[in-house]
Chain A
């Protein structure tokens, strides 16, 4: 590749280094850590500028999840009056919890895939570890989620769910999901940086994922259906899906009625999902980070 050995040799003899080279992984992580303030400031700035054009501004951060919940209430609660075999008054909180938590992963994937392409001018102007960008975009989604969670608490309590010590467990659930989301958005950032068409395809993939993830139905209840009872492996595969694990764990934390129903009526274990969740978080993060890092020096080319 190098057409001119004497010059390259001359450079190395004087201790000069390739300026577009990828730093070793340890140094890379250190650089990333040094940029943590930038990552946070960048995420907050993007979050603020997202709403500057609208009159209500930041209020939309609360209104958007509220309206989303309203739509689900209208369709599933009032029009279809569905309960999907769940105990009385559980379906709406069940559905809204699932949708809000799944949306966090969904939006992280979406914005991660665009994070490099949308910031090409920044990449071509300044030096920083490029992983800052997908990280910042996941932080934006986290900030949005935290607002949604506030709305969610109100809805869940309004439907008569008790406030228990189990609510504290939502912190480790969110942490695992955050780590998983960072990993998956890093992986998609690299794919999206070199194949722009992926962002056209993602909505379909993500919607399919949503339907497979037991967000609008209870997978625990579905496993008891005669068809799935014959082929238990299908249930095991569906259960190992991270799109199901994190929303379901969140329901166990917040919805005591639902948790009791799964454990006592369906006789399904609920603790193994914690191990699955932790496993997914660690594996996805390590794989995603490594995969993104391997192309670090090439992101500027577009």
Chain B
């Protein structure tokens, strides 16, 4: 069976056949299976001449709107993650790392192929649910409810979140648009990290703020990782990848280049990018 998988992956992977074969480990329990995944999403409002006459001609010629672009972000990816894995995902900007996480979380539907998971993987982050016009207080409640907590749970977590964010006195009653960018990201991280998850997906640059808060949030991420069944971590800090992960995926142009232990992959990656 492994041979069949290998053949298939080679066909669907990078054109030069560099995609690593999927090795199935019968002794460990899989928690995420990604099977020849393709993701295409649409972006509106990109470029295009903005005048009515040209738009009308396009309709007559039955052309697609140039302001709508389809992005083929993941082009055939397969791998298996097991319970207890902490998997780093590295790659240059725009290589498809964040899209991969969103696909694992089931937030972007696959064009073809599939993602199979145990439990519901979730992204660490609630930014999209928060509203800048509202006070920090209301945003904590809104963010927690958006992540699926019950109102009682929100009440018990509330003080913890405020304490972790460490905002200056009184700021919690101000609208979030009055916050400095550091304060805003601290509160956002504090809200996001208040919930534990089966499969945790962490995107880079979550742990922002001053040095003290970065240390604090790194410790919090470690804690969440221990609670979760498996963790995916996207980061540009190669040191933290080496330190925190037992396995690393190298992604480039939506394809899997390498899937191995951290030292091997990080070394190869640094070499390829001529650091």
* Chain A residues in the interface with B (C-beta under 8 A): 1-4, 6-8, 10-12, 14-21, 34-35, 37-38, 41-42, 45-46, 48-49, 52-53, 119, 121-128, 196, 297-298, 300-302
Interface-central residue, A4, A6, A11, A301, by most chain B CB under 10 Å: A4
**A residues within 8 A CB of B117?**
16-17, 19
CA distance A18 to B118 in the complex (A): 9
Residues in A whose Cβ lies below 8 Å from that of B78 = 4, 7
Which single member of B12, B35, B147 contacts A126 (CB below 8 Å)?
B147
CB of B151, distance to nearest CB on chain A (Å): 5
Q: Known: A3-B112, A18-B114, A19-B115. Is A45-B142 also a contact (CB below 8 A)?
A: yes
Q: Is the CB of B12 within 8 A of A3?
A: yes
Contact pick for A49, options B41, B131, B147, CB 8 Å: B131
Chain B positions 117 through 138: 1 when the CB is less than 8 Å from some CB of chain A, otherwise 0: 1101111011111011110001
Task: Give the A-binding residues of B (Cβ under 8 A).
Answer: 1, 4-5, 8-9, 12, 22, 24, 29-33, 35-36, 40-44, 76, 78, 80, 102-110, 112-118, 120-123, 125-129, 131-134, 138, 141-142, 145-148, 150-151, 175
Knowing A17-B116, A37-B151, A38-B146 are in contact, say whether A302-B41 is a contact too (CB < 8 A): yes
B110 / chain A contacts, CB cutoff of 8 Å: 20
Q: Is the CB of A301 within 8 A of B123?
A: no
Closest partner residue, chain A, to B33 (CB atom)? A11
Q: Is the CB of B148 within 8 A of A301?
A: no
Measured in the bound complex, the distance between the Cα atoms of B73 and A300 in whole Å is 14
CB pair B41–A3 under 8 Å, yes or no, is no
Q: How far, in angstroms, from A121 to B126 measured CA to CA in the complex?
A: 10
- In the complex, A21→B69 CA distance in Å? 25
A19-B120 contact in complex given A2-B114, A10-B24, C-beta closer than 8 Å: yes
How many angstroms between the C-alpha atoms of A53 and B145 in the bound complex? Answer: 25
Q: How long is the Cα–Cα vector from A300 to B108 in the complex, in angstroms? A: 5
Q: Which of A1, A45, A300 contacts B112 (CB 8 A)?
A: A1
Q: Which one, B12, B30, B104, B146, contacts A11 given CB within 8 A? A: B30
CA A195 – CA B130 in complex, angstroms?
26
Say whether A125 contacts B141, CB under 8 Å: no
Report the Cα distance A21→B113, complex, angstroms. 12
